Amino acid sequence: MSKKKTVYLAGPLFTHAELEYNRKLKDVLLNNGFSVFLPQEDAEDAAQEHEKQNQELIFIKCVEGLDASDLVVAVLDGSDVDSGTAWEAGYAYAKGKPVIGLRTDFRELSDGIVNLMVEMAIVALARNEKELLRIIEKYQ
């Protein structure tokens, strides 16, 4: 039996809706045979850590999570990609880890789906969870 691949789930985590969507997406990935690093849970990137101003610890845990992951799923919704998500995608790209974008948002830029630098760093772009699972299947 092969070891479960670890997905680093990058995405915005500043609203209740974003936090809930991240949890839903984590469950989808877990139910399909992946292990998942979710920063809002696994890096203690939650309100209590922000209140302690423990940003260095959160950053270190996120970088460790990225380093330990096999691939990254990056939620690219919004009028502009979340800056933290963009950084995580760029870091993963620099480390040679595949980054799969997920954009359920139907808004597009005039010259591309998302920011050019993010778009060029991803290996594939899914428009919904079902499409994401089809794409990510080849990484199991």
Whether 98 and 139 have beta carbons less than 8 Å apart is answered as yes
In whole angstroms, what is the distance from residue 136 CA to residue 133 CA? 5
pLDDT score, position 22:
97
Sheet holding 71-75, edge to edge: 35-37, 6-10, 71-75, 99-102, 124-126
Tell me the pLDDT of the chain (140 aa) as tens digits: 568 999 999 999 989 999 999 999 999 999 999 999 999 999 875 556 566 667 888 899 999 999 999 999 999 998 889 999 999 999 999 999 999 999 998 877 656 778 889 999 999 999 999 999 999 999 88
pLDDT score, position 79:
84
Tell me the CA distances in angstroms from 2 to 33, 34, 83, 140, one per residue in order.
11, 11, 34, 9
Map out the domains of the chain with their CATH numbers.
6-139 (3.40.50.450)
pLDDT score, position 58:
86
